[in-house]
Amino acid sequence: MDPRLFDVLHAVQIRLGSSEQWDVISGYRAPETNQARARESGRVSRVSLHMSGMAADCRLPDRDSMGLARTAVDMETGGVGLYRRDGFVHLDCGPVRRW
């Protein structure tokens, strides 16, 4: 895993004032796993930063996904994807962008 991702997670957690541990739904993905997931869902990027250890799909148990995503977007530390229906956010240490 890219150490910068842990810096992003820590910074967001501190900004939110949370002392809860992150629930990580998906971290590193092997290219084969990512390709299989991309075939199953159009929501999975074929060039995902998960494959280089630069991304995590995660949630903080004491914070809602919308508030978490808004905070991360405001911080501009990397990519932020909101998966509200599934109750998690994608955070990465790549270029600043959102979806």
What is the rounded average pLDDT for all residues in the chain? 96
pTM listed for this prediction: 0.93
Structural domains in the chain? Answer: 3-98 (3.30.1380.10)
- pLDDT score of 35: 94
- pLDDT score of 44: 85
pLDDT over 90 at 41, yes or no: no
Cα separation, 70 vs 57, in Å, equals 15
Dihedral angle computed from the Cα positions of residues 5, 20, 58 and 91, in that order, rounded to the nearest 10 degrees: -40
Phi-psi region of 7 (alpha: psi -120 to 50; beta: other; left: phi over 0): alpha
* pLDDT tens sequence across 70-99: 999 999 999 999 999 999 999 999 999 999
Cα separation, 46 vs 31, in Å, equals 9
pLDDT over 90 at 42, yes or no: no
